[in-house]
Amino acid sequence: MIPLLSGGEQRRLWAVVALVAVPLLLVVNTAESPTLGRPPRAAAVAPPPAATATATPSPTPTAAPVTPTAIPPATATLAPPVPVERSLRVPILMYHHVGPLPADADALRRDLTVAPERFAEQVDYLAREGYQTMPLAQLAAALHGEAHLPPKPVVLTFDDGYRDNYDYAFPMLQRAGYTGTFFVVTGLVGHAEYLTWEQIRAMADGGMEVQSHGRDHVDMSRLSAQALERQVTESRRVLESHLGRGVRLFAYPAGRYSPEVIAALRAAGYQAAVTTRHGSTHTTAEVFALRRVRVRGSDTLPAFASKLRP
């Protein structure tokens, strides 16, 4: 039987027990805790896999950069377009004077002059038969495939720039709703019997087409290269400066021309030219030698009508 201890003895006993128990507990915890004392033993590590599994994989080959092949521009590989040869039948009527004959008219003047009443009959006939007038530039463009023709086309041209063209032909054309192409000799503007610049501008503003007939009415096939260039370039420059619009068509004075004249017109920027050769069929190859049908002072209405038929 354990004797009972006094209070003081009990306190001394518990103190001894505490001194012994606390270090013992610390030793036990240190062996189990990963944060106190020695670090814990490392966990068992699995043996490495076979060599085939551990080999470092070869890097994926990087494709070499591809240099794009240079593509030449289309103009360097495509052949130039072959011009399309076109043939169109359009009567180009050729007039000079339209007005009364002077008392002293010679044979040439009578042949070149259509009386006002006959010109009125001819315009009425064209309207009655369904003909539609058009600028000569439209025909030139149609030969190059750049414009269309009306169903029954006709072109009315007037050479030299006579004053009676303004007095008689111009108002008759306007009343019919028609247009005409007037070829002006720029060096003769303002002279007796010839148009003034005010009249030419009024005609152009009224829907008429004004084009070049050269600076002087001379045989261009006999000119030097320098004189030829002056005729084709100066006449166009003067017309354009007075009219404020482009001039690209030419009528050969007296119908005379040569390969050198055509080359000079091309070099100067013209697009077409008319001759005095008879005919109504035009081709792309002869755009600088367009044919015309002369209207004479002696033509009756039946004779005029026959000139329009194929």
List residues bridging with 89 in a β-sheet.
281
Distance, in Å, from the CA atom of 64 to the CA atom of 125, rounded to the nearest integer, reads 81
Distance, in Å, from the CA atom of 302 to the CA atom of 110, rounded to the nearest integer, reads 19
If pLDDT is split at 50, 70 and 90, which confidence band does 290 have? very high
* pLDDT(137) > 80: yes
Residue-wise pLDDT tens digits, 161-212: 999 999 999 999 999 999 999 999 999 999 999 999 999 999 999 999 999 9
The closest alpha carbon to 164, from 231, 105, 219, belongs to 105
* pLDDT(147) > 60: yes
Q: What confidence score (pLDDT) does residue 188 get? A: 98
Q: What confidence score (pLDDT) does residue 151 get? A: 94
If pLDDT is split at 50, 70 and 90, which confidence band does 310 have? confident
Residue-wise pLDDT tens digits, 67-119: 444 544 544 455 555 568 899 999 999 999 999 999 999 999 999 999 999 99
Are the beta carbons of 93 and 292 closer than 8 angstroms? Answer: yes
Helix (H) / strand (E) containing 199: helix 197-205
If pLDDT is split at 50, 70 and 90, which confidence band does 39 have? very low
Q: What confidence score (pLDDT) does residue 83 get? A: 65
Which domains does the chain possess? Answer: 87-308 (3.20.20.370)
Distance, in Å, from the CA atom of 279 to the CA atom of 4, rounded to the nearest integer, reads 160
> Beta strands 281-283 and 87-89: pairing type?
antiparallel
* pLDDT(48) > 50: no
Distance, in Å, from the CA atom of 17 to the CA atom of 249, rounded to the nearest integer, reads 135
Angle, helix 197-205 to helix 225-243, in steps of 10 degrees: 60
* pLDDT(63) > 50: no
Helices (H), 223-292: 225-243, 259-268
Mean pLDDT of the chain: 83
Are the beta carbons of 215 and 231 closer than 8 angstroms? Answer: yes
Question: Strands, E, within the chain: which ranges?
Answer: 87-89, 92-95, 97-98, 113-114, 132-133, 153-160, 181-184, 209-212, 249-251, 272-278, 281-283, 290-294
Q: What confidence score (pLDDT) does residue 84 get? A: 80
Distance, in Å, from the CA atom of 89 to the CA atom of 261, rounded to the nearest integer, reads 25
Q: What is the pTM of this model?
A: 0.74
pLDDT more than 90, % of the chain: 72
pLDDT more than 70, % of the chain: 73
How far separated are the first and last CA of the chain, in Å rounded?
A: 161
